[in-house]
Amino acid sequence: MAKAIHSMIRVLDETRSVRFYQAAFGLEIADRLDFDTFTLIYLSNAETGFELELTVNKDRQEPYAVGDGYGHLAVSVIDLDGEHDRLGALGLNPRKIVEFNRDGTLIARFFFIEDPDGYKIEVLQRGGRFQ
């Protein structure tokens, strides 16, 4: 059986991206591999073994086009309202909280936020299938 271990995104500015993920989600640098033309930065926290890999191509000057094939990364939190308030206070501009219902049953509460490169992150209230 396969085990998901990381997801990779390309970012323009290492410092800006690392600061965002540290402030927004408590992700810290687990490893940093520097090569001649690119750098790989692995971010994680104590909540999970899953990592976010940031790839910085050293010769890149223009922002990446996220494109129409990328969906989003998702994280779950214990206190959605508290996290929404905290991220807003940091100036990270979380979108409004949404309640997703089906046949009158609440399936999920969530909001989206974007990182400095335009990648969308869904922040879900922990519970049900969203652990």
For the annotated catalytic residues, the residue numbers are 122
- Most distant CA atoms of the chain, gap in Å: 55
Token pair recorded at residue 102 = 């089906």
Total Cβ atoms within 10 A of residue 30: 15
Total Cβ atoms within 10 A of residue 128: 11
**Nearest of 40, 43, 20, 16 to residue 30 by alpha carbon:** 43
What gap in Å lies between CA 86 and CA 31, rounded to an integer?
27
**Do residues 124 and 75 lie in contact, with contact meaning Cβ atoms separated by under 8 Å?**
yes
